[in-house]
Amino acid sequence: MDEKQWLADEFEANRGHLRTVAFRMLGSRAEAEDAVQEAWLRLTRSDRGSVDNLGGWLTTVVARICLDMLRSRKTRREEPLDLPAHGAIVDIASNPEREAAFADSVGIALLVVLQTLSPAERVAFVLHDMFDLPFEEIAAVIGRSAAAARQLASRARRRVQGQPETPDVDLARKRSIAEAFLIASRNGDLEGLIAVLAPDAVFLPDAAATRLGNVVPLRGANAVAESFKGRATSAKVALVDGEIGLVVFIGGQLRVVLALSFNGDRISTVDAIADPDHLSDIDYSILEG
């Protein structure tokens, strides 16, 4: 068997799984098929010698394609959802076996709830809670840290389960920590910065943030504190994807989001997001007063 035929056979063996992943994210069979077909095209153009786990690689590729499609859909303010016609629902409901099969394969109620999530929340939740992907791999798909991916999935899970949002008291505590971080940064207070950072705190800028701020990934409270000393003059505390974070405006435009993850009363991760596509995916509101 030649390599091309082997590759086609392996892809076909994974097609059902890939279609399920895509449909759970997109809620549209037609778009799911498009995403799977695009994954095949990317596979044929890829360097397959560097792929150790073809199934995992394809899942990641499909997830990235779906994320791009969700972001494009959000920009167009479209939310396609393949719901059956009323007659089909009646027919299914009259047949217990078909009803059970339909609920298992489509999950209409879940798809409706998933429509309310942001693209990054939706991808993080689907990949982790439905397909058990580790957050380290999900982070590479959505362009955030593993901690941020965990945070997005957790927030999505609460919304899917109908649980209340993070209690105000918890948000108030995190807000006070973020404000202390911001004040210390503006004042060049190195000790003040270190005081609100976890000892193993990490700073993870995306490629756009690296270029914009001439910064690099850092690990350790001292290194992160040094990087922020005397900076963040235009940053504001905000609710970022339902969690406390910071937003930076330059020339009246949102240019950077600092998504914060917390460990107790200290900041454990600072994700600097400046990629325009990722920024458009983030829901934020500035907290005044």
Same domain, 86 and 157: no
Same domain, 27 and 92: yes
Final residue of a structural domain among 145, 165, 185:
165
Q: What CA–CA distance (Å, rounded) separates 121 from 29?
A: 20
pTM of the model: 0.63
Looking up residue 242, the CATH number of its domain turns out to be: 3.10.450.50
Bridge partners of 35, per DSSP, are none
Angle at 36 between CA 30 and CA 41, to 5 degrees: 125
Looking up residue 141, the CATH number of its domain turns out to be: 1.10.10
Q: Cα-Cα-Cα-Cα dihedral of 57, 63, 66, 70, to 10°?
A: -150
Final residue of a structural domain among 165, 190, 223:
165
Same domain, 215 and 267: yes
Residue 151's domain spans which residues? Answer: 117-165
Same domain, 259 and 243: yes
Domain count, the chain: 3
Same domain, 123 and 205: no
Same domain, 80 and 40: yes
Same domain, 128 and 107: no
For residue 273, give the amino acid letter: I
Query: Over the stretch 251-272, which tens digit does the pLDDT of each residue have?
Result: 889 999 999 999 889 999 999 9
Same domain, 109 and 205: no
Query: Over the stretch 218-264, which tens digit does the pLDDT of each residue have?
Result: 999 999 999 999 988 889 999 887 789 999 998 889 999 999 999 88
Same domain, 228 and 148: no
Query: Over the stretch 72-115, which tens digit does the pLDDT of each residue have?
Result: 876 555 555 554 433 333 343 344 454 444 444 445 667 777 77
- As a whole number of Å, the CA-based R_g of the chain is 21
Averaged confidence pLDDT in the chain: 83
